[in-house]
Every structure is written in structure tokens, then in C-alpha cells.
Amino acid sequence: MAAGSTPSQPAALPAAAQAAAEPLATVRWRPERRYKRDEMIMGYLFVLIPFAIFITFSFGAMIFDFWISFYHWAILDSPRFVGSANYNYLWHIDTVWLTALGNTAQYCLVVVPLQTVIAFTLALIVNQNIRGRSFFRTTFYFPSVTSSVAISLIFLFIFNNFGLLNFLISELPGHPSGPNWLGDPAYALKSIMGLNIWTTTGTLMVVFLAALQDVPREVLEAAAIDGATGVKAVTRIVVPLIRPALFFVVANGLIGCMQIFDQAFILSQGSGGPNYSTMTAVLYIYIQAFTNSYYGVAAAASAMLFAFIFVATLVVRRLIGGEEGR
Amino acid sequence: MAYSIGVKRARGPWAVSKEALFYIVLIGYSIITAIPFLWGILTSFKSLPESAKSPPTGIPLHWTLSAWTGQYGVLTSGNFPRWFVNSLFVAAVVCIGNLFFDSLAGYAFARLRFPGRNFLFFLVLGTMMVPAAMTLLPVYVILTKMGWINTYQGLTVPFMVSAFGIFLMRQFFMSLPVELEEAARVDGLGRFGIYWRIALPLAKPALATLGILQFQGNWDSFLMPSFIANTNNMLTLPVGLQHYSFQFTTFWPEVMAGSMIVIIPILIMYIFAQRFFIEGIASSGVKG
Amino acid sequence: MRASSFLAKLAVAGVVIASLGVAAGTRTVAPTQAAGSVSLATWSSNPTEQAGQKKLVDSFQNKYGTTIDFQVINGDYPTVLKARFTAGTAPDVFYINSDYFQDFASSGALMNLDFLKNVKSFGYDQYYKNLQVGYIYNKHIYGLVKDYSTLALEYNKTMFKKAGIKAPPKTWAELQKDACKLTNRANKVYGISLSADPARWAAFLIQAGGGSTGGGGILNKAQTKAYIKSAAGLAALKFYAGLVQKGCAARPDQVGAGWNGEAFGRQNVAMAIEGNWITSYLQQTFPSLNWGVAPLPVDKKAGNLAFTAAYGVYARTSNKSNAIKLLEYLAGKSGTTVWSHVVGYLPARKDVKPPAGTKVFADQTKYAKDWFFPPGFTNRALTPIGNDIQAVMDGKMSASSALNDMQNKATQALQNVP
């Protein structure tokens, strides 16, 4: 997946949003109901170990992060309270964080729409009476399944100034010479965008495909009779019907993009260059924490990133709507 | 079910060319998808000078195994075999841990009533919204304090429970008919017995999906393991590959060979189990 | 009753899973110290260095009978070390770099080595003062420099002969002339590979008469001020970046290479400026290359940079006597001799002769400024300086505005961080 981490991300927000509504719907709170004692104990026992791990490494981690963001800490010494100095540093003193945010925003604003549109188009096409549908589905999905490190290294080779891509470009009529994909600050981020789109589009296509298959035939036939064909049919009729899938694709795309790390790390050889053009938010956090050992600053940046992701997902929910699209 | 948008029922020359266009697009995109892998594999069989040639050669002029078994070959000189075993072990342990703990917690949320249940579940959901970046630091610090850096515990335990997994299992258990469990209760099975003997066996499809996703996710995982493991013997495959590639930056055949080692096991697994992969993702997206 | 049978099963399951992880983990937990052993940690390095390390380890073990627990740390070396310190599994003796030396020294993680001054057999006075200075903090010794390298001009003898150039350039003017003569853009060959790196450009700054006597020639001795913006700085930047702008030089990435040495080895360039680590690299990777070494071309004066690495000892080691014994061996005359002769690096001690083939590098020592900086400077100043150099090379920034920016960033970086 785009984030390159365990698949807790794919279903993250939309699932969370939907499930948030569920418990309250299925279990009505009856204050006077008494819990059966052994059921209670069992309940707690069941969740005991999972939550021990969970609290320590997930939830507790969040809290710790937030707490340490108000301290200066470099691991070898004890944390020293500095109040909002870290946040101040990020906003006013260090221009690299703002660059990182800008890069990440630019990245998301290009990648998410592009990969959504491409994935949707592909899904539409594959959903037609196409032979070999299963083959295409399998092929397109494959890049998402492979290690982001391995893929990034292959693309590092392809994007080399004297590599495959520039060779192919030079074979085009007119023999243009391709740019220095990784060494030119104007192109480095675009290279990563291309890589990510290549990787993630397949997954998103699969989601769209599954959603499209639920759209009843009659709806479209009715639309065709009414004269709505082609693009109009698609946008006016099909899209609203697959709103849950659209929300899933856009929300996950956004969350994944805002946390892009692996590809930026490998393609820039861990530097975020050239000239900070590939410095993304998470790469910045990583460098601050693990190269510079400014844990407080890194934690503050993480907290801010979390806030941005949260807000962005709310915005997407607003624009596209949640699960109840029909 | 497939239907045709924008293609009128009548079959005329215009309709045929539209279909041809579709095929062209799909095949074209398949080529774009396949080329990087092909390029990687072919390069791994080239010699170093040939890989640096400009213009690049496609099929190797001289097939050679030097990237695999030569002086810096991945099978012989890099620590790839060890990293492979590490990845296998870690991914398997995390996978099994997830299957067990996520289904335990998922079942409890689905079927057992206890005060604070909703609150705890909200907690789980909340962390799903937290970017992985936020947990980097704290997990690292905690592992440091526990002395678990560069150990197998550090590489596995923090990942043995996943919010996504809990959620998935809960959804599934909730969809099971209650009658089966009620019948078992009447028969005298305890809570755990019901879970273990009735619910879990029924959950095989969900468990299979979760297991595959977790295994693949952990196998490919790079960010977390890269700072948990640091002596050469403890690296997992993606991290080892990255170290190897930074050390031998432009030994392209070797680096490509290393990439293949990381990709191929999952490729094999994928070919055999792709139905589960794909349907797992599709259903989690569409049905929520 | 149901609860207890469930509890039992849960306990068993938990134990099984936990022990899976722990049992395997205890096999490879960061090494425990067996009695009569000492641990030595190094960063990951190329096969030549590994051979040198092996030789040192073997000869120490044979001589003293104390086993060495040799650890190679991949990944971010200083961070991992810090993690080890906190977790209580720190190595006794370890490599240290000037980049983060002050970080460690100021936090009390390094053992005070002043006592070595009084150990006659060790011969502390044999260290080159201008190299050892980077490892003295608050007037106390916390590290011992283990090797160093200076920069030199490597040139491709075959290409020179073909172009009819008899000798490698000695001045900037000659360098420019030769580089342009050797460039053949149609064949994708350039005269010289120049990286956008202050760790190369600073030598030019010094040669133009700029800079100062402190870190890298960029800072003053007290490391409080930066001396980049000057007429000399402008001249140095215009020359260095100008070569790329004219098209007679290329950055490594422009010829698809990772660093100068690789561009040189692939013969995409005819000259390169690198330290003597390039020797073993070329021997291994491009053994048939016909190349030579010459002193850096000079301008108003000769100038060079010295890159060092050192040994440090953990302050709170539980293995004090063994650690000191190991340190005295590694950094003493015999250990240094073994190291520099196997690996080909320059010894930092006067009583050890430089290995064969390094004369050109060794001769530059007297002009070389030690490359070391206060903590944080590398990331907050050196990286932006490199970016600025690249911007000038690409014609995106004028030399004077780049110089201004470099000076600003350096000054800011010398002030306190959050």
C-alpha cells in the first residue's frame, strides 16, 4: 500500500467512521441491564493481552508522542521541558518543515485525483464484457503487493539519468532528452508521484471494480435509454451509486499520500533532496528523530501531521459523503 | 456482472473500435505494470558493465549469475539468506499473533457484554486514524527502555495486535448467526469453548484474509523494522535490501537481484492466493 | 469453573506465543559480556575495511587472549549507539565520527582519556595535533583519531594521453583548460566530476584565500563564526560551479553515478576529487582502470581538508581494564600500523609511516583543515550549502546570492537549536 506499512491503513478511516456508528446502533444502552458476571470476566480476559500490547504500542505511543513534543530530548539526556518551543521552531525558524508540508500537500493534490481517475477508468473498462478480466485484475493489482523498498530500488535504476526511462524518451520522434529525474529538484518529486501512482492504482481499481459490480444492470440500461451515454452516464449516474467505494479510495489515498515515506527515502537516498524537493512530512520526522535526535521536534511534527490528516479526512467526508450514499 | 456503458446495443463498426480501444488501454497498462519487474529481473542477470551501458540493453547480451553468486552476489556474500529467514520468522509470528489476538478481541467486542466495551472499541478505532508516523518514535523509545531493540521480541510483539484486524474479526463475528452459539451454551460449553470450538472454525475465510494481509504487510514492512533491528544478523529482508543497496549503491545487477528476492516469495504466494488478497481488499472497501 | 479452564488455556497460549518471540530473541539479544571479553562496535563498511578489522581483532586476541565481541552496526550508527547506551547494552569500544562526537562527549557517554597522556608507551604526543583537535571537548580528550584522509586529484591516464595532456593540472587555470579539453559531450564524457558538496568545495574556498582555521576551514577555531561570505568565497564558488555551468564538469548524478569515484571509474569523467578511500574502491570495482593521483590544483595558496574517524570508550563500561587495553592496542603504534597498511588509510600518528601509494595524500596533510563541526551543523548548514552550490551549478541562483544564503544558514546553525 502507499504507506508501506502493515495493512492497518487501508480500511482505516472509512471503516472507522462507519463502525463508529454501529456499536450504538446494534447495542442499545440499557442502564438497568445487569451484566452476567462470568460474561463480564470473560470479556475482560479476552481483551486482556491484546489490549496490553495495544495500549503500550499504539495508544500509549500516541499519548507519549504528544507529551514529549513539549520537551527537548536527545535520548542520552533526560527530557527538558521547553513548552511550545518545538512548535515554534517548526513554524517560524525551520523552513524545512514548511517545505516538507508543501511537498506533501503538492504530492497529495496531484496523486490522489490522478490515481482515482485512472483507477476508476480502468475499472470501468474492465467491467465491460472484456475477456481476460481476471487476468487484468490480477496483473494490475500486483504492484501493490510487493515491497515498496524493492520497487523503489527498481525505479531508482529506471529513473537514473542514463537509465531506461530516459532511453525510452530519447527514442520518441524528435529525440528529446529526458530530464534528470532524480537529480533535478524540479522533477524529483514528480518521479515519486509517478512511482506511487504506478503502485497504488491497481488496488484502487479492484475496489472500484467490486463496487461497480454491485451497480444493477437495469439502472444503466434505463440511463442508456434516456440518452445518457458515455461520460454523462458515468458521472451523473454511476458515480453516486458507488459513493462508499469512492470515499474509501479517496480517503485512503489521501491518508496514504500524507504519510509517504518509503519511496521518498529510497529515491533520495535518505536525504530528502535534491534541495529538499523530496522531503515529505514523514521523512522530515524520521530525519529529525533518528538522524538529528531532536525527538521533541519530531514528536511535535507528528502531532501536527496527525491533525492535518484528521482534518483532511473530515473534509473528504464532507465532500464525498460516507457510506450511506444511496 | 458486466454491462456496457456508452456502447450502444447495436454492433456497428463504431462499437467494435471502442472495444478495441479498451483492449489497447488495458494491454498498454499491463505492459506499464509489468515492465519494471521485467527490467529488474533481466538486469539481475547482466554483468555490472553491461548494466551501466547507455543506451541500455534489454535482454542481456551475456547472461551471467554474477549478481547472484558472484563476488558481491546476493546469495553468497550479502546476508540475504539470513534476512530471508528473519523475515519469514517475523512475518509468521506476527501473522499467528494477529490471528489469535485479533480474533479474541474481535469476538469479545462482538459477542461479550462488559462495561466499557464501547469505549474500548472507540479506542481501537481511534488509533486506526493515527498515522503510522506518530507511533515511530514512542515505539522506538519504549523498545529501547525495555531493551528490546535489535531483538525478535521487538520486531514482533508491537505488531501482534492490529486495529484493522480487530475490526475485521468483529465485523465477521457479528455476522454469524447467534443460534449456533446459543445451542453450544445449552450444551454446556464455556465462553472460551464457544469461541474456540464454534466461532473460530466458522471464521476461516476471515482468518485467511487477515492472515494473508498481515503476512504480506509484515513481509514488506520497512519503516518500523529499519530502526528496531540494526546489527546485520537481525535485519528483515526489506531493511537488509536497503542497507545492501546503500552500501553497493550502483551495483545495479546485485541490487536488482536483491529486490527480486524480496518480491518473488510474495509473488508466488500471491499467485496461489490472489483470490483472497483481492477479495479481502475489495470487500473491506466496498462493504466498509 | 469455566473461567479457570479458560484462564488456563489463555495462559498456555500466551506463554507459547510470548516464548516464541522471547526464546528466539534471547539467542540474538545484544551480546552479553562473557568474562574476559570486550566488545568493539563499528559501522558497516566495505570489504577492505572488513579485512583490516578482522586482522586487528585476530592479532589482539592472539596477543592478549581476551576475546573481542565484534559488532557491526548497520543503519543510523549514532542513533543506534544512543539506543544501546540507554538500554544498557553499550559496546565498550566503538568507532566515532566528528559529526556527532560533541553530542556524545557533552552528554557524558564517553570516557575521559586524559590519562593516556601519561602512558609513555602509548605515545600520545605522536598524534597530529590538527587531526586530534576534533576529539577534544572542554579541554579533555574523549576520542582518539584512528585514520584520516585528505583530498587529491585523480586523473585518467589513458584519457589524458589521448587528449595530449602531458601532466595533471597544477593550478585552477590549468584545471579549467584541461577539463574543457577532455570534455566530449557527444560521448557523454566530461572533464571532471564535481559534487555539490561543501566537503569538496571548502578546499577551493581555502585555496582562494578564504575561510578560517577552524572546522573544515569554514569556521573559526572557536567554532563560533562562519567565514564563507568573502571575495575569496565568491571567487571559489564562481570557479567551482562555473566549471559545471560551462559544461566542462558534471555532477555525479548527471552522469548517472552515485559519487565522484563511480563516475571516474565508469570513465564518464576524466578527473575526480576524492580522498584515498577511492583507491580500494577502484581496485575492487574497476581494476583495469589506468589512473594516477596528483595534488589538488592550487590557487592563491594550497588548501585541503582532512576527514577523520576515531575510537571512543563508553564512560560507564563494566569492562574498564579490557576496554583500555583494547583501545591502547587499536590506537597505539602497532594497531595503527596494521590498520593503515591493510586498509590503505593514512595513519594519524607520526610514528607510523603512511602505506605505499598514499604519498600524494600524505603530503597534503600540512595544508589540510580538519573536517569537524558542532552538533547539528551538518544538517542545518552543510546540507543547505550543498543545495546552494547545486543551484548555482544549474544556473538557478547567482553566486553572490548563494554565498549570502550559505553564510546565513551557517550563522543560524551556530546558534542554539530547540
Helix or strand run (H / E) with residue B137: helix B132-146
Min Cα distance B86 → chain A (Å) is 16
A196 and A289 co-located in one domain: yes
Q: From the CA of C357, how many Å to the nearest CA of chain A?
A: 32
- Residues A44, A145: one domain? no
> Judging by beta carbons within 10 Å of its beta carbon (0-12, 13-18, 19+), is residue C63 exposed, middle or buried?
exposed
DSSP bridge pairs for C75: none
**Taking CB atoms and an 8 Å cut-off, how many pairs form between chains A and B?**
392
- C338, C353 contact by CB (below 8 A): no
Say whether A306 and B237 touch across the interface (CB within 8 A): no
Domain limit, last residue, from B28, B51, B67: B67
Task: Give domain status of residue A102, yes or no.
Answer: yes
Residues of B in contact with A14 (CB under 8 A): 285, 288
Q: Say if residues C390 and C196 touch (Cβ distance below 8 Å).
A: yes
Cα separation, B161 vs A59, in Å, equals 12
Judge whether A251 lies within some domain.
yes
- Where residue A187 sits, what CATH number does that domain have? 1.10.3720.10
A152 and A269, same domain (yes or no): yes
Residue C244, all three cell numbers: 559545471
Contacts of A27 in chain B (CB under 8 A): 113, 118
Interface contact flag, A305 B114, Cβ < 8 Å? no
- B140 to chain C, any CB pair closer than 8 A? The answer is yes
Verify whether the Cβ–Cβ distance A211 to B171 is below 8 Å.
no
For position C289, what pLDDT does the model report? 92
State whether A45 and A166 are in the same domain. Answer: no
Nearest CA in chain A to B34: A139
User: What pLDDT is attached to residue B61?
Assistant: 87
Indicate the helix (H) or strand (E) that contains C70. Answer: strand C67-73
Residue scoring higher pLDDT (A292 or C387): C387
Do A251 and A301 lie in one domain? The reply is: yes
Query: Do B57 and B130 belong to one domain?
Result: no
Closest Cα in chain A, distance from residue B204 (Å): 19
Q: Which of B45, B67, B89 is the last residue of a domain?
A: B67
pLDDT digits (tens, 9 = 90+) for B84-95: 999 999 999 999
Q: Grid coordinates 602509548 are at which residue?
A: C122
B87 shares its domain with B60 = no
Contacts of C75 in chain B (CB under 8 A): 226-227, 229-230, 239, 243
3-class DSSP assignment, residue A113: helix
Total domains, chain B: 2
The residue to which cell 575526480 is assigned: C272
Share of chain C above pLDDT 90, in %: 48
For residue C369, the cross-strand partners are C305
Percent of chain B with pLDDT over 70: 89
CB contact under 8 A, A47 and B104: yes
Q: Among B32, B133, B260, select the one facing A302 at the smallest CB separation.
A: B133
Q: Which residues of chain A are within 8 Å of residue C96 when distances are taken between CB atoms? A: none
Considering the domain architecture, whether residues B131 and B235 belong to the same structural domain is answered as yes
Same domain, A196 and A286: yes
Comparing CA positions, the residue from C270, C269, C264, C238 lying closest to residue C399 is C238
> Between residues 60 and 89 of chain B, which touch chain A (CB distance below 8 Å)?
none
Asked if B132 and A323 come within 8 Å (Cβ–Cβ), the reply is no
Residues A152 and A201 in one domain: yes
Partners of C79 on chain A (C-beta within 8 Å) are 75, 290-291, 293
Contacts of residue A290, Cβ cutoff 8 Å, sequence gap at least 6? B227, C76, C79
Same domain, B139 and B244: yes
Taking an 8 Å cut-off on Cβ atoms, the answer to whether B232 and C22 are in contact is no
Question: Does some domain include residue A16?
Answer: no
Q: Is the dihedral of CA A172, C190, C240, C199 positive or negative?
A: positive
Q: Which of B125, B158, B223 sits opposite A261 (nearest CB)?
A: B223
Closest CA relative to residue B232, chosen from B79, B89, B76, B88: B79
Report CA Rg, chain B: 24
**If you write DSSP's letter for every residue of C271-294 in order, what string do you get?**
EEEEETHHHHHHHHH-TT--EEEE
Q: Is C382 helix (H, G, I), strand (E, B) or coil?
A: helix
**Is residue A278 domain-shared with residue A187, that is, in the same domain?**
yes
Q: What whole-number distance in Å separates Cα of residue A186 and Cα of residue B158?
A: 39
Bridge-partner residues for C314, per DSSP? C110
pLDDT one-digit tens code per residue, A272-299: 878 899 999 999 998 888 777 788 899 9
Between chains, do A294 and C14 touch, taking CB under 8 Å as contact?
no
Distance CA(C312)–CA(A322), nearest Å, equals: 59
CA distance A231 to A227: 12
Burial B230-247 (b: 16+ CB within 10 A, else e): bbbbbbbbbbbbbbbbbe
Residues A246 and A301 in one domain: yes
Task: Tell me if A64 is assigned to some domain.
Answer: yes
> A49 and A66 in contact (C-beta within 8 Å)?
no
Cα Rg of chain A, angstroms? 23
pLDDT at A238 over 60: yes
- Domain of residue A272, residue span: 85-320
Q: Is the ipTM of this complex over 0.90?
A: no
DSSP string, A303-314: HHHHHHHHHHHH
Tell me, what's the pLDDT at C16?
53
pLDDT in tens, C9-29: 555 555 555 555 444 444 333
B120 and B36 both lie in a single domain? no
Cell numbers for C99: 559529526
Q: Is B144 on the interface with C (CB under 8 A)?
A: yes
| Coil/strand/helix, residue A265 | helix
Q: Work out how many domains chain A is built from and give that number.
A: 2
| Interchain CB distance below 8 Å, A74 and C188 | no
Instruction: Give the residue from chain C lying closest to A41, CA to CA.
Output: C3
Query: Is B151 close to C28, i.e. CB distance below 8 A?
Result: yes
- Same domain, yes or no, for A221 and A253? yes
Mark whether B47 and B120 lie in a shared domain: no
**Angle at CA of residue B107, ends B101 and B111, nearest 5°:** 155
Q: Are strands C67-73 and C37-43 parallel, antiparallel or unpaired?
A: parallel
Mutate to test the interface with A, among B11, B25, B29, B283 (most CBs of A within 10 A): B29
Contacts 24+ apart (CB under 8 A), C105-110: C105/C137, C105/C138, C105/C142, C105/C143, C106/C137, C106/C375, C107/A74, C107/A76, C107/A77, C108/A76, C108/C315, C109/A76, C109/C82, C109/C85, C109/C314, C109/C315, C109/C316, C110/C142, C110/C143, C110/C312, C110/C313, C110/C314, C110/C315
Instruction: Return mean pLDDT, chain B.
Output: 82
Domain boundaries, position B33: 2-67
Same domain, B148 and B186: yes
Q: Write down which chains contact chain A via at least 3 CB pairs under 8 A.
A: B, C
Whether residue B40 is found in the same domain as residue B104: no
> CATH code at B149?
1.10.3720.10
The verdict on a CB contact (< 8 Å) between A293 and C251 is no
- Do A124 and A266 have their domain in common? yes
Assess if residue A41 is contained within a domain.
Answer: yes
Q: Are residues B89 and B164 in the same domain?
A: yes
C187 interfaces chain B, CB cutoff of 8 Å: no
Mean pLDDT over B242-254 rounds to 81
Q: Does B234 touch chain C (CB under 8 A)?
A: yes
C-alpha cell at B177: 448467526
C247-297 pLDDT, tens digit per residue, is 999 999 898 888 899 899 989 999 999 998 888 888 877 888 999 999 999
Q: Is the pLDDT of residue C153 over 60?
A: yes
A12 found inside a domain: no
Best of A292, A294, A295, A297 to mutate (most C CBs within 10 Å, chain C): A292
Residue B266 in contact with partner chain A when CB distance is under 8 A: yes
Which of A72, A275, A290 shows the shortest C-beta gap to C387?
A: A275
What domains are there in chain C, each with its CATH number? Answer: 37-148+307-363 (3.40.190.10), 151-305+375-415 (3.40.190.10)
Query: Within this chain, do residues A54 and A143 fall inside the same structural domain, yes or no?
Result: no
Peptide bond into B55 cis (omega under 30): yes
Report how far apart, in Å, the C-alpha atoms of A4 and of each of A115, A144, A255, A261, A320 are.
17, 9, 12, 8, 26
If asked whether residues B247 and B158 sit together in one domain, one would say: yes
Which residues of chain C have a CB within 8 Å of the CB of A273?
383, 386-387
Residues B252 and B167 in one domain: yes
Same domain, B98 and B60: no
Asked, for residue A37, whether it belongs to a domain, the answer is yes
The predicted pLDDT at position B35 comes to: 92
Q: Is A134 part of any domain? A: yes
Percent of chain A with pLDDT over 90: 24
In DSSP terms, A115 is beta-bridged to none
For C233-248, what is the mean pLDDT? 94
Give the chain B residue whose CA is nearest to the CA of C78: B230
The minimal CB distance from C21 to the residues B146, B153, B193 is found for: B153
B284-288, C365-369, C404-408: least confident range: B284-288
